[in-house]
Structure 1
Amino acid sequence: MKEVRIGLVGTGWMGKSHSKSFLNALYHFGEEYGKPVFEMVSDITEESALKVKKQFGFKRYSKDWHDVVTDKDVDLVDITTPNAFHYEIAKEALLNNKHVYCEKPLSLSAGQSKELANLAKEKGLVNYVGFNNVMNPATKYIRRLVQDGKLGEITKVSGTYDQDALLDQQIPISWRHLKKISGSGTLGDLGSHLFSVLQFILGDMKAVNALTRTVIKERPVRLNSTETKTVENDDVVILLSQYENGAIGTLSSSRIATGRKNHLSFEIQGTKGTVHYTLENLNDVHVYFTKDDSVDRGFRRVLLGNDHEGYSAFQPAPGIAIGFNDFKTLETHEVLSSITKGTSYICDFNFGFKVDRIIEAILESSELNSWVFI
């Protein structure tokens, strides 16, 4: 058993999610893959840092993230701050020879993300980006169908990630609406999850032609305030896409999608079959194969079970539902295992760079109103 001493930077909802998931990974997989030790937590708000320190048993806290990345007793720097701070913290952590686990996006530019990927490779350190939907057993099952040729040649992909969490125009403005801190809007917040899943399943995207729109242009600076501030990034995005494997696609995302709560949905069509999946029915995958065709047969429902990678860590038999938070547990387990056992992992900084390059290309395409090659 090897201890992995964690320094957490950022104590919001995602910081707590990471911390809970480390504990769950220990419970589900055991100490042989590494025992998480909560060494230090940092937040610019002292009250928040103290609260998380007490909640998860961190040994120490600081208001300055530099204390975490330079501390000799920290092995892994876990970054869950707003987007704009990821690059600087990750870079300093790598320069101080720390493994890095960074919530997505890796940075606000593809250039910065590529720099971090190159630095991590040079240092030989674990470098992980938190695209938790990639860890979904359904995602890995669908990738296997594609890789094994069960769907034949991939011809078309369609997908969207829609929520209505920001539909109410009276919801106050936050860092997610400001380019300097968040970068893009729904594109980077929600769309990046869709792009990461399809990156894993289909491989590299080749080109995009996109439109973006900001529907709610002003938001109150605080609840019930008459003072407003300009929303600087996208509420809605839609694009045509080309993949290196020849597939073409229509992809979209909206953070003001009336009635949609967590609608990450996609369909991949091939010459021998089609697969459809939506996160709002998390444990169901719908598949169709031409070899099974008859006058009375269409799509069939596949329930997640023990033969789908990752599922058996949570449930003993097929058809028993697993939950969204379980993806994060699989993710933190992979982080621990990569540090203690040197096991391979999917969402490294180069993977993060590829997703950030897609986002950058979409923004460029929308501005130029033309195709942009990735």
Structure 2
Amino acid sequence: MKEIRIGLVGAGWMGKTHTNAFLNALMLFGAEAGKPVFEVVADVDLEAAKITSEKLGFARWSNSWQEIVSDQNVDVIDIATPNVFHYEVAKAALENGKHVYCEKPLTLSADQSKELANLAKEKGVVNYVGYNNVMNPASAYIKELVSSGKLGQIMRFSGTYDQDGLLDPNLPITWRHINKHSGSGSLGDLGSHLLSISQFILGDISKVNALSKIVIPKRPKQAGSSELADVENDDVISILAEYANGAIGTISSSRVATGRKNYLTFEIQGTDGSVFYSLERMNEVQVYFNSDHHADRGFRNVFLGPDHKGYETFYPAQGIALGYNDMKVLEAHELLSAISEGTPYACDFEFGWKIDRIISAILKSDSEKSWVEIV
């Protein structure tokens, strides 16, 4: 059994989610893959760090992430801060030879992400980006269908990720609306999840053409304030894509999609079959194969179950729904296993860089109103 000592940077909701995932990974998988030890939590708000430390069982707390990235009693730096701080913290952690677990996105630019990916390879440490939808057992099942050739030649990927959480124009502005803090709007916050699924299952996108819109151009500076501030990034975005494998794609996201709560859906169409998935029906995958008897009856439901990678950890029977936190548990286990046993993992910093370079190309395309090659 290898103890893996964790230094958490960021005492907010995501930091708590990561810690909960580590605890459940230990409970479900046992300590053989690595036992997480909660060493220290850092946050700019020292009181928040103290409260989180005491609540979640960290040994100590700090208001200086600079101290913990060089702490000899820490093995892995867990970055759960707002997007703008990811690059600085991750780079310092890598330079100190730490394993790094960074919530998505890796950074706010493709160049910075590539730099971190190269540095992580040079240091030979585990480098993990938290694209949790990649760890969904449904994603593994669909990737297997595509890779096996059962769907035939892939013709098209179409997907959308819509929420209406920011539809109310009276909601105050946050860091998510400011480019220097977030990098982009619905694209980076929501669309990046679709891009991670697409990358995992279908591989590289070669070029994109995008169009976005800011639906609510100004928001209150504070709740109830009459003073307004400019929204700098996309509320809605739509993307045409061409894949390296010859398929075409349509990808969109919205944070002001009236009536939609967590509407991540995608369909992959092949010459021999198709597959459809919705995160709001997380435990079901709809499939259609030309070879099926009575194929004219259309799609059929496949319920995730113990035969699907990842699912068997939680339940012994089909049809019992998994949730968001379960994907994070699988993510935490994969990280621990990579550190303690050297097992392979999909969402390394190079994977994160590939997502960020697609986002950079999309933003350039939207700005220039033209097709942009992804290089």
TM alignment of 1:295-314, pairs within 5 A? 296-314=296-314
Question: Which residue is equivalent to 2:94?
Answer: 94
Question: Which residue is equivalent to 1:67?
Answer: 67
Q: Which amino acid in structure 1 is aligned with residue 239 of structure 2?
A: L
Question: Which residue is equivalent to 1:105?
Answer: 105
- Per-residue Cα deviation, 1:167-199 (whole angstroms, up to 9, x for no partner): 111111111111111110000000000000010
- Per-residue Cα deviation, 1:320-353 (whole angstroms, up to 9, x for no partner): 1111210000000001000000000000000000
Query: Counterparts of 2:249 and 2:14 in 1: how far apart (Å)?
Result: 31
Q: Which SS does the other structure have where 2:280 is aligned?
A: helix
Q: Which SS does the other structure have where 1:207 is aligned?
A: strand
Question: Which residue is equivalent to 1:23?
Answer: 23
Question: Which residue is equivalent to 1:292?
Answer: 292
Q: Which SS does the other structure have where 1:74 is aligned?
A: coil
Shift of 1:294: 3.1
Q: Which SS does the other structure have where 2:44 is aligned?
A: coil
TM alignment of 1:315-354, pairs within 5 A? 315-354=315-354
Q: Which SS does the other structure have where 1:292 is aligned?
A: coil
Structure 1 segments unaligned to the other structure (5+ residues): none
Contact 1:152 / 1:270 at 8 angstroms: preserved in 2? Answer: yes
Contact 1:156 / 1:247 at 8 angstroms: preserved in 2? Answer: yes
Q: Which SS does the other structure have where 2:297 is aligned?
A: coil
Contact 1:157 / 1:268 at 8 angstroms: preserved in 2? Answer: yes
Q: Which SS does the other structure have where 1:111 is aligned?
A: helix
Query: Counterparts of 1:353 and 1:122 in 2: how far apart (Å)?
Result: 16
Question: Which residue is equivalent to 2:162?
Answer: 162
Q: Which SS does the other structure have where 1:93 is aligned?
A: helix
Question: Which residue is equivalent to 1:231?
Answer: 231
Question: Which residue is equivalent to 2:359?
Answer: 359
TM alignment of 1:125-136, pairs within 5 A? 125-136=125-136
Question: Which residue is equivalent to 1:268?
Answer: 268
Contact 1:315 / 1:322 at 8 angstroms: preserved in 2? Answer: no
Task: Give the 4+ runs in structure 1 shifted more than 6 A.
Answer: none
Query: Counterparts of 1:130 and 1:54 in 2: how far apart (Å)?
Result: 25
Shift of 1:295: 6.8
Question: Which residue is equivalent to 2:145?
Answer: 145
Contact 2:289 / 2:295 at 8 angstroms: preserved in 1? Answer: no
Structure 2 segments unaligned to the other structure (5+ residues): none
Question: Which residue is equivalent to 1:193?
Answer: 193
Percent identity, aligned pairs only?
A: 64
- Per-residue Cα deviation, 1:255-294 (whole angstroms, up to 9, x for no partner): 0001110011000000000000000000010000001153
The answer to whether structure 1 residue 183 and structure 2 residue 183 are counterparts is yes
- Cα 1:285–1:180 change in 2 (3 A) is same
Q: Which amino acid in structure 2 is aligned with residue 324 of structure 1?
A: Y
Question: Which residue is equivalent to 1:207?
Answer: 207
Query: Counterparts of 1:296 and 1:348 in 2: how far apart (Å)?
Result: 42
Query: Counterparts of 1:202 and 1:73 in 2: how far apart (Å)?
Result: 40
Q: Which SS does the other structure have where 1:266 is aligned?
A: strand
Q: Which amino acid in structure 1 is aligned with residue 9 of structure 2?
A: V
Q: Which amino acid in structure 1 is aligned with residue 159 of structure 2?
A: G
When the two structures are superposed, what TM-score results if normalisation uses the length of structure 1?
A: 0.99
- Per-residue Cα deviation, 1:122-153 (whole angstroms, up to 9, x for no partner): 00000000000000000000000000001000
Deviates more, 1:319-328 or 1:158-167: 319-328
Question: Which residue is equivalent to 2:52?
Answer: 52
- Cα 1:178–1:295 change in 2 (3 A) is closer
Contact 1:10 / 1:79 at 8 angstroms: preserved in 2? Answer: yes
The number of residues matched between the two structures is 374
Q: Which SS does the other structure have where 2:7 is aligned?
A: strand
Query: Counterparts of 2:275 and 2:236 in 1: how far apart (Å)?
Result: 25
Query: Counterparts of 1:256 and 1:13 in 2: how far apart (Å)?
Result: 22
What's the C-alpha RMSD, in Å, of the aligned pairs? 0.8
